[in-house]
Amino acid sequence: MKTLEMGDGWWGSGVRSSRDKEDEGIRPFQVKTSEKEIQDLYQRLDQARYTPPLEGSAFNYGFNSNYLQRVISYWRNQFDWQKHVKILNQYPHYKTTIEGIEIHFIHVKPSRNLRGLAAKPLLMVHGWPGSFYEFYKIIPLLTDPVGHRLSDEDIVFEVICPSIPGYGFSEAPHQQGFDTIACARIFHKLMQRLGFQEYYVQGGDWGSRITTNMAQMLPKSVKGLHLNFVFVPRIGWSGFVSLMLGAYVPWLVGLTREDSRRLFPYFRKHIYDLLRESGYMHIQATKPDTVGCGLNNSPVGLAAYILEKFSTWTDKSFRNLDNGGLERKYSLDELLTNVMIYWVSSSIVSSMRFYKENFSQNPASAPDARIDVYVPTGVAAFPSELTHTPRSWAKKKFKNIVTYSYMPRGGHFAAFEEPELLAQDIRQFVRKVEHL
């Protein structure tokens, strides 16, 4: 079985010294913000300038500035950051130094006596513009399913949620070239440092590619891979044929009726809609520091840039609503907590650079593109995800798909939006893997 070379790296400042041994200690960490930082934020919010939206434009031109003013007013006058700092700190936070940079993570163990049942270690990886906070609603469902009336206590997890380097409270790489493969290696080292030899991994967005790389790199360590977003760099000739015929005779080309419903009309759903939603990607994959200057300086700009994704990536139809449908699936407190993680850590620029590092070469020719995944894999396909990948396409890369679920509702931020659905699917997948 061909595997992805693990290699090694150094992302600290300057040249790595051969004399210095890396501190492998794991240090407790807490989220803290000074009053000076809060007053600086308030001053910037008070001085914001707004451009009136075009009449009837809703979210079709981006974040509607009329609704933005309501969000900023709530942020300035009602949002209680210190209350949410306590919520963030309800789970144990830690930092450890790997390859020259500090890696932040939360590590949550089951609170109940498992009566001899071993908790399954599960690494969950976020994407952009999310954070470790996306998993706060799903963590208790995985670590204490009985307490939340999900099911019998046959599958219980010990959950580790790291921040991708350059995101939130993980230190940003100081060197060029930090991509998903480097991140996968660092997260393997993190799990090994925590004492785990085998573990499950789960991800969406960048987390999907990072955890896939982890499965390609050390398949003996990854007991199972669960994804709610699937990267398939090429679909091949058979995929092209399925696009030509799938709308008419899906069963003839390996598609289900549900695949057909989600895929077609293909140009509108997967070309035109993606073009409408991917402008940010072109900027971040080429000149992230330029636009980052403004976002790192303006909390209003940062909020608009981040929260717009939580609108249209949750449901594309929300772009036709004046408020972007943001409060249909999330509370402003939840959304602003995620924004605050980017603001207080000053991490928006380094998070955007991750696109530049990963798209500096053609993804189809990247080292991981031609390496198949043989680790048991589960896929949760949410209907409002940015793209749909049928099982027949996913099988070209993921050779051991154990479960493939058409989820009844939900979009790109699955753990944040539909934690119960995602938790149930993860448990179903792991249960199957455990009985293989």
Which residues are marked as active site? 205, 355, 412
In 196-295, the DSSP E strands lie at: 199-203, 222-227
- Inter-CA distances, 334 with 61, 135, 172, 330, 337, Å: 24, 11, 24, 6, 5
DSSP-derived secondary structure letter, 291: H
> By the 8 A CB rule, do 350 and 172 touch?
yes
CA pair distance 31, 45, nearest whole angstrom: 22
In this structure, is the dihedral angle defined by the CA atoms of residues 188, 190, 193 and 197, taken in order, positive or negative? negative
Please count the helices (runs of H) and the strands (runs of E) in the chain. Answer: 19, 9
For residue 124, give the nearest of 227, 219, 259 by alpha carbon: 227
Phi and psi at residue 97, in whole multiples of 5°? -95, 125
Phi and psi at residue 274, in whole multiples of 5°? -65, -40
In 248-299, the DSSP E strands lie at: none
For residue 206, give the nearest of 225, 179, 224, 185 by alpha carbon: 179
- Inter-CA distances, 162 with 189, 204, 287, Å: 12, 14, 26
> By the 8 A CB rule, do 232 and 393 touch?
yes
**DSSP H or E segment with residue 296:** helix 288-297
CA pair distance 210, 180, nearest whole angstrom: 5
CA pair distance 119, 142, nearest whole angstrom: 10
Residue type, 172: A
